[in-house]
Amino acid sequence: MDAQSRTDPPCYRVWIARYDRWEPTGPGDVPPGAVALEPAEEGTMTDLEARAYAEAFNRIAARRAQKMWAVALPVVVRYEGEPQPGQPLGVLPAGRDCTFRAKS
């Protein structure tokens, strides 16, 4: 079951990636053949948060001539099962996650 409805804003994860033989022209560029190294942060971000994070990281990476780049990827948040009535829910702070998670 999809945790998002059609009215929910899209969720993004920012990944730090490495690349070879590519010269960025701006902080919003995406390197061809990028290889994922690690997620930049835990959880998801809104479109604006992900874009701002990636662009800030990429400006610094470009100045340092690092072969690392932040890439914002759209994700769909899914969960398994339904909370039971009376079960406490672990709700993450607004903007950090696009949906709540049921505590197990």
User: How far is it, in rounded angstroms, from Cα 66 to Cα 62?
Assistant: 6
pLDDT (tens digit, 9 = 90+) per residue, 78-96? 766 766 777 766 655 555 5
The answer to whether the CB of 46 falls within 8 A of the CB of 11 is yes
Each domain of the chain, given as residue ranges in start order, spans: 11-77+90-98
pLDDT (tens digit, 9 = 90+) per residue, 16-34? 999 988 888 888 888 888 8
User: How far is it, in rounded angstroms, from Cα 96 to Cα 48?
Assistant: 12
User: How far is it, in rounded angstroms, from Cα 5 to Cα 57?
Assistant: 30
